[in-house]
């Protein structure tokens, strides 16, 4: 991220040896950090996380001012011992305090300006 490397240390996981503790911990802690609650229920058990939906989460909410710039360069690198199966898909979800659109075909990034909305509920 803008020439800074995150996380500071590699996750050092090995799915074949069931060493996924660091990844699973990042997954479970993210809900607490994002929602601000200590008592959250994980949607994925450790087994389901490993076998069905391994998610790599890097919480970058507490960063130095040098990374908080209007333009952000992001590069994701994943090293594996075994090639991913041909049908594997990878997605990157960025949660940010601004709404942006990115067009991967031409590299265009635009900030969206949204009108404030109000939510009315009737019971």
Residue 52 has pLDDT above 70, yes or no: yes
Q: Give the burial class of 27: count Cβ atoms within 10 A of its Cβ; 0-12 exposed, 13-18 middle, 19 or more buried.
A: buried
Q: How far apart are CA 58 and CA 22, in angstroms?
A: 11
Residue 88 has pLDDT above 60, yes or no: yes
- Give the model confidence (pLDDT) of 55-67 as tens digits: 888 877 666 555 5
Q: How far apart are CA 56 and CA 38, in angstroms?
A: 21
| Residue 103 is assigned to a structural domain of this protein | no
Domains contained in the chain, number: 1
Query: What length does the chain have?
Result: 123
| Residue 39 is assigned to a structural domain of this protein | yes
| Residue 8 is assigned to a structural domain of this protein | no
Residue 96 has pLDDT above 50, yes or no: yes
| Residue 110 is assigned to a structural domain of this protein | no
- Give the model confidence (pLDDT) of 109-119 as tens digits: 887 655 444 44
| Residue 72 φ/ψ region, left for φ over 0, alpha for ψ in the -120 to 50 degree band, beta for the rest | beta
| Residue 1 is assigned to a structural domain of this protein | no
Q: How confident is the model at residue 45 (pLDDT cuts 50, 70, 90)?
A: very high
DSSP class of 101: E
| Residue 52 is assigned to a structural domain of this protein | yes
Domain span holding position 67: 15-95
Average pLDDT estimate for 14-20 = 88
pTM for this predicted structure? 0.62
Per the listing, tokens 């300006």 go with 113
Average pLDDT estimate for 88-100 = 74
């Amino acid at each position: 991220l803008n020439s800074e490397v995150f996380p500071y240390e590699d996750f050092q996981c090995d799915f074949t040896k069931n060493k996924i503790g660091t990844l699973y911990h990042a997954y479970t802690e993210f809900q607490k950090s994002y929602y601000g609650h200590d008592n959250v229920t994980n949607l994925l058990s450790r087994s389901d996380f490993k076998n069905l939906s391994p998610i790599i989460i890097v919480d970058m909410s507490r960063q130095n001012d040098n990374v908080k710039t209007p333009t952000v360069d992001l590069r994701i690198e994943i090293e594996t011992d075994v090639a991913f199966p041909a049908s594997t898909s990878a997605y990157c979800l960025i949660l940010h305090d601004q709404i942006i659109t990115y067009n991967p075909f031409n590299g265009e990034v635009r900030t969206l300006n949204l009108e404030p909305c109000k939510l009315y509920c009737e019971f």
